[in-house]
Amino acid sequence: MSKAGTLDLASGLGGKIEKNDVLSAVEKYEKYHVHYGGEQEERKANYTDMVNKYYDLVTSFYEYGWGESFHFAPRWKGESLRESIKRHEHFLALQLGLRPGHKVLDVGCGIGGPLREIARFSSTSVTGLNNNEYQISRGKVLNHVAGVDETCDFVKADFMNMPFPENNFDAVYAIEATCHAPDAVGCYKEIYRVLKPGQCFAAYEWCMTDSFDPNNQGHQKIKAGIEIGDGLPDIRSTRQCLEALKLAGFEVIWEKDLAVGSPLPWYMPLDKSHFSLSSFRLTAIGRFITKNMVMALEYVGLAPKGSQRVQSFLEQAAESLVDGGRKEIFTPMYFFLARKPHSNSR
């Protein structure tokens, strides 16, 4: 269970958006999406505004329900959600061969849950790159509490245009973040640029799988539900991501959809038929309680107007994610390990 309480949820709602402007921010955010007549090109052209609005609106809900790491994980029987999340982070560190002293970049780092875990697990210094100011302010507080503020830091910038010199990092990873990029090749090229030659980039990407049929209305509805519920311009296919890596200059060492073969499904915590005391807030009853609590907090003025609307598009996200997972048309864990070759004329 997350450590954030009800008052943390209420006070963080809206992030850096003025409390009186939260409702209009929700309306503007919704208009970017298909369900409200929005177009993919507009979402891509305005990705900074769309994604930042999304994370200002949802971060305190994420922290309340999910904890400090905002990602899914494959899961073994007998493993708690929290344990599976940490193991998924350790897996990246092992794949990247992180060693004490390495200078590592976390692309799209959220409030830094994975960054703190990976830095402690591997004795490395991790820089978290994030374009959302509110998340960085939360991350700095949590880094201080965890005692990693001397070795880890945050940089506020867009991963499409990073403020780092080339050949700067010993390793780069991205966890469920580069799916927000309007263009995968552009984003991977930036990662390639800042990585030292011979070193690796590993990621978990959100993707549509080969089972997704673009001509199937039901599939398209699920995809649009995930896009609005999760602040995405357009969910790419696994093949598009793989192609984009190669176009950016990477040599792909191995790749796999880790959802395939997971003993327990990654979407289980959000599945309404599942009950768990340790992740109670994500269960159907937990979400029902949160919904009513947010309604009450909004009514008495402790949460800004528009908070219930945020809760409701997150609910839609949860349902679409479970549907996408069950039908195996969507994965949040398309893993790849890619190397920047030593000699390359790019």
Ligand X SMILES: C[S@@+](CC[C@H](N)C(=O)[O-])C[C@H]1O[C@@H](n2cnc3c(N)ncnc32)[C@H](O)[C@@H]1O
Residues in contact with ligand X by the rule CB under 6 A: 51, 55, 69-71, 108-110, 113-114, 129-132, 135, 158-160, 175-177, 180
Distance CA 104, CA 172 (A): 6
Q: Is the CB of residue 259 less than 8 Å from the CB of residue 72?
A: no
Residue placing its CB nearer to ligand X in the complex, 182 or 304: 182
Minimum separation from the CB atom of position 305 to ligand X (A): 24
Q: Is the CB of residue 274 less than 8 Å from the CB of residue 266?
A: no
Minimum separation from the CB atom of position 269 to ligand X (A): 15
Residue placing its CB nearer to ligand X in the complex, 9 or 174: 174
Residue placing its CB nearer to ligand X in the complex, 158 or 216: 158
Helix axis angle for 238-248 and 184-194, nearest 10°, is 40
Helix axis angle for 307-326 and 22-31, nearest 10°, is 30
Residue placing its CB nearer to ligand X in the complex, 189 or 305: 189
Residue placing its CB nearer to ligand X in the complex, 104 or 297: 104
Which has the closest alpha carbon to 223: 34, 51, 52?
34
Distance CA 31, CA 240 (A): 27
Minimum separation from the CB atom of position 264 to ligand X (A): 19
Put residue 176 in one of left, alpha, beta given phi > 0 → left and psi -120 to 50 → alpha.
left
Minimum separation from the CB atom of position 56 to ligand X (A): 9
Minimum separation from the CB atom of position 57 to ligand X (A): 12
Minimum separation from the CB atom of position 31 to ligand X (A): 19
Residue placing its CB nearer to ligand X in the complex, 160 or 302: 160
